[in-house]
């Protein structure tokens, strides 16, 4: 068994592999294996990797069934103590692996960890998917230190502490293999988006911790396979948020929360409509219809035991109220 394995899930991302694989190989830690797991690409991605990087191991999935199932299937072929799940559009930097592995080696209760995630296109700023660690509010809306909704902060050294968070980004997630396996991996029904938050929530329910460290930095291009402005992304984010809440909250908390979410998501849908984004408005409606159509299936996945869920990284307020009504745009203005 190798100690660390980097696993890059690819789907028609040849242009990203051409651009970012040299950084991965050039900044690798000795003894770390590198895999490209391919979700049935049609752009000659695998031929490119085989020809130019024969040292990289290839895992070929027969179909593209999304980020979640793609990783679940691929990781069955990886024998390592730690997985590094890395998006194909991430530029890694020198010494990006060791600080996180050292941190996790020092505490068996840390199941997953993420580095500082900054923007590849504007390197002074944090990036949307993860920034300086993931949090969640009482209504199930995810946000980050350094990013709330569409507002990203400039990195001026304000998040230089190692700290426990609620979720680590799937763009660059370090996770113990045994924790990933014992938790059942990602929920394949999510397809893509928010599956890492659901996994981190389940790990916390098992007594594990999720961490962020600033002593490792990577730069994420973002929107490599699905643009942030895509209606498909809007659909997945709204639907998967409801999936996640249904699976991980007790009925006592869930029922009133779903009522609130109907109102809040309805407001979000109307906002899209008034902005002329009709496809996004429809995406919100479709997300709710899809959720209610799958409740019976989701019921089988609900937590069997709901322990104290006063987790680190859980914000008891509402970021919608803070952001839109109180005009608080920075994490430090909302969460202490």
Going along the chain from its start, the domains and CATH numbers come out as: 2-220 (3.90.550.10)
At residue 224, the pLDDT reads 57
Find out whether 318 and 137 touch, Cβ atoms under 8 Å: yes
Q: Whole-model pTM?
A: 0.94
Residue 214: exposure state from Cβ atoms within 10 A (0-12, 13-18, ≥19): middle
> Which structure tokens are listed for 283?
């995406």
- Confidence (pLDDT) at 14: 96
Instruction: Tell me the C-alpha distance between 253 and 166, whole Å.
Output: 18
Nearest Cα neighbor of 126 from 147, 106, 143, 112 is 147
What pLDDT is recorded for position 83?
Answer: 99
**Hunting for tokens 């961490």 — which residue is that?**
211
Torsion of CA 154, 121, 277, 295, to 10 degrees: -80
Task: Please report the pLDDT score of residue 87 as a whole number.
Answer: 97
Instruction: Spell out the per-residue pLDDT of the chain, length 336, in tens.
Output: 899 999 999 999 999 999 999 999 999 999 999 999 999 999 999 999 999 999 999 999 999 999 999 999 999 999 999 999 999 999 999 999 999 999 999 999 999 999 999 999 999 999 999 999 999 998 999 999 999 998 999 999 999 999 999 999 999 999 999 999 999 999 999 998 899 999 999 999 999 999 999 999 999 998 755 666 789 999 999 999 999 999 998 888 888 999 989 999 999 999 999 999 999 999 999 999 999 999 999 998 887 666 666 788 999 999 999 998 999 999 999 987
Alpha helix (H) residue ranges in 126-194: 177-182
Contact 234, 280 (CB under 8 A): yes
Angle at 138 between CA 136 and CA 141, to 5 degrees: 45
The residue with tokens 């999510």 is 190
């Amino acid at each position: 068994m190798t100690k660390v394995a980097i696993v890059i899930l690819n789907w028609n991302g040849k242009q990203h592999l051409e651009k970012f694989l040299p950084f991965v190989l050039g900044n690798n830690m000795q003894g770390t294996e590198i895999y490209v797991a391919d979700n049935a690409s049609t752009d000659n991605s695998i031929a490119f990797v085989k020809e130019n990087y024969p040292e990289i191991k290839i895992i070929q999935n027969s179909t593209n069934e999304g980020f979640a199932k793609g990783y679940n299937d691929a990781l069955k072929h990886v024998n390592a103590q730690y997985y590094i799940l890395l998006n194909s559009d991430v530029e890694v930097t020198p010494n990006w692996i060791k600080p996180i592995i050292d941190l996790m080696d020092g505490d068996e209760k840390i199941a997953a960890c993420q580095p500082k995630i900054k923007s590849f296109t504007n390197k002074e700023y944090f990036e949307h998917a993860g920034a300086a660690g993931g949090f969640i509010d009482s209504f199930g809306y995810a946000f980050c230190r350094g990013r709330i909704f569409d507002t990203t902060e400039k990195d001026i050294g304000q998040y230089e502490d190692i700290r426990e968070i609620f979720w680590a980004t799937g763009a660059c997630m370090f996770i113990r293999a045994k924790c990933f396996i014992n938790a059942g991996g990602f929920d394949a029904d999510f397809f893509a988006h928010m599956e890492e938050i659901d996994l981190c929530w389940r790990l916390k329910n098992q007594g594990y911790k999720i961490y962020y460290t600033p002593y490792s930095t990577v730069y994420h291009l973002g929107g490599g396979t699905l643009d942030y402005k895509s209606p498909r992304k809007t659909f997945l984010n709204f639907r998967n948020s409801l999936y996640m809440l249904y699976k991980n909250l007790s009925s006592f908390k869930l029922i009133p929360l779903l009522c609130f979410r109907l109102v809040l998501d309805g407001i979000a849908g109307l906002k899209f409509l008034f902005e002329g984004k009709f496809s996004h408005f429809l995406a919100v409606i479709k997300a709710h219809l899809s959720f209610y159509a799958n409740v019976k299936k989701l019921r089988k996945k609900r937590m069997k035991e709901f322990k104290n869920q006063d987790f680190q990284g859980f914000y008891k307020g509402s970021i919608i109220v803070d952001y839109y009504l109180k005009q608080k745009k920075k994490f430090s203005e909302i969460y202490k």
